[in-house]
Amino acid sequence: MERVMMKGNEALAEGAIRAGCRYFFGYPITPQNEIPEYMARRMPEVGGVFLQAESEVSAINMVYGAGGAGARVLTSSSSPGISLKQEGISYLAGAQVPCVIVNVARGGPGLGGLNPSQADYFQATKGGGHGDYRLLVYAPGNAQEMVDLIGLAFDKAEAYRNPVMILTDAIMGQMMEPVVLPPLRTVAPDQPWATTGKRGRSKPNIINSLGLVGEDLERINRELQAKYARMAASEVRYEADGVEEADLVVVAYGTTSRVARSAIARLRQEKKKVGLLRPITLWPFPQQILAELATAGKRFLVVEMSAGQLVEDVILGVNDREKVAFFGKLNGTVPTVREVYDRIRSLLSEGGEG
């Protein structure tokens, strides 16, 4: 298979095209600008639409329109821009419109900075917009997963009629790595629920998130919760590397999982038993494996570029706060391999295994 070198952002864009996405609506912001730049060139080549909207709010509502017509549609932005899209995301979730949203996260809150960050974890996994809704959230760990997971994201968005988010960060977006691209798929925008005219049906399809009458809203929410339960039961993905024999399991996703992997490789050369659990879906979260590892007596270290967001889900899974240590970076810098290495070493020696 031919390997080609791509930036993570470009890999996401080409991966979307290969998965049959033919509509992109967005608004520029660093560090995701390679996605719209790539789409502006590439979409016309495949007969698709690239449109730079006048704002993020406009772009997400264009996504609502195209998704409602059954098309595979993508928008991308970075943290402050994703905040602007939250109303639209809530509506998309409420109306059960499939789409894919990419967040190449940067530091916040507010305008923040351009450096990588994982501080949008809560926003991505716990809501962000109003109401009781869930997104399926994928966190790629390399450029190949950018390609593979965005393809999967479109399939799952349609299968569940639900928005899917790719949560990544500036390093993953800017970094170049070799990827193997899948063949180009063409997917007809032909969904039985889509609002594309009655075409001989007696009743029109309606896409709406309004539930004013009687107990409509409770029924809608029960349906949504049943769907989220199905997603939680079937869609958990993670990578477990050496966790069974480990004394300490590092939990990290995306960029920090890469740093952790380098630190773990050094420690293994010193015969230390350290494993890596890398959630690939951030929602649904791999609670079950954490519970099993906790029962087996493991301790855990969560490494993330935030004040502590992922760590809350890890504590829920482990169900024992004492077993979970935390190492976070706040200032938009990436933890170094040495910092993570040192932290693991000191945890191992506290536990008497150093």
Partner 1 sequence: MVTHEIICAGFGGQGVMLIGQLLAYGGMIEGKEVTWFPSYGPEMRGGTANCSVVISAQPIGSPVVAEPDGLIAMNGPSLVRFKGAVKPGGVIVYNSSLVAEAPELQGVRICAVPANELARELGNDKIGNMVVLGAFLGLTKAVTVASIEAALQQVLPARRHHLIPLNSAALRKGLSLVEG
What is the pairing mode between strands 299-304 and 324-328?
A: parallel
**Least distance CB 174 / partner 1 (angstroms):** 5
Beta carbons within 8 Å of 200's beta carbon, 6+ residues apart: none
Structure tokens at 330: 């706040």
According to the binding rule CB under 8 A, does residue 114 interact with partner 1? yes
According to the binding rule CB under 8 A, does residue 251 interact with partner 1? no
Using CB under 8 A as the binding criterion, the count of chain residues that bind partner 1 stands at 26
Upper half-sphere CA count for residue 94 (Cβ side, 13 Å): 18
Q: How far is CA 250 from the centre of its chain?
A: 19
According to the binding rule CB under 8 A, does residue 334 interact with partner 1? yes
Structure tokens at 292: 């099993």
According to the binding rule CB under 8 A, does residue 187 interact with partner 1? no
C-alpha closest to that of 60 among 108, 12, 99: 99
According to the binding rule CB under 8 A, does residue 259 interact with partner 1? yes
Q: Which of 3, 130, 219, 222 binds partner 1 (CB under 8 A)?
A: 3
**Least distance CB 334 / partner 1 (angstroms):** 5
According to the binding rule CB under 8 A, does residue 282 interact with partner 1? no
According to the binding rule CB under 8 A, does residue 126 interact with partner 1? no
According to the binding rule CB under 8 A, does residue 93 interact with partner 1? no
Q: Please report the beta strands in 200-346, taking only residues with DSSP state E, as ranges in sequence order.
A: 238-241, 248-251, 274-279, 281-283, 299-304, 324-328
Name residue 201's amino acid. R
According to the binding rule CB under 8 A, does residue 234 interact with partner 1? no
The DSSP letter of residue 323 is G
C-alpha closest to that of 153 among 321, 328, 8, 19: 19
Q: Which of 258, 278, 323, 329 binds partner 1 (CB under 8 A)?
A: 258
**Least distance CB 100 / partner 1 (angstroms):** 24
Contact segment (CB under 8 A) with partner 1 among 43-51, 92-100, 157-165, 171-179 equals 171-179
C-alpha closest to that of 183 among 229, 153, 151: 151
According to the binding rule CB under 8 A, does residue 111 interact with partner 1? no
Q: Looking at beta carbons only, is 25 or 341 nearer to partner 1?
A: 341
| Cα–Cα distance for residue pair 281/124, rounded to 1 Å | 11
Contact segment (CB under 8 A) with partner 1 among 192-200, 230-238, 267-275, 335-343 equals 335-343
| Cα–Cα distance for residue pair 21/66, rounded to 1 Å | 11
According to the binding rule CB under 8 A, does residue 174 interact with partner 1? yes
Q: Which of 49, 84, 175, 217 binds partner 1 (CB under 8 A)?
A: 175
According to the binding rule CB under 8 A, does residue 181 interact with partner 1? no
Paired strand residues for 137: 165, 283
- The residues binding partner 1 (CB under 8 A) are 3, 5, 30-31, 113-115, 170-171, 174-178, 258-265, 334, 336-338
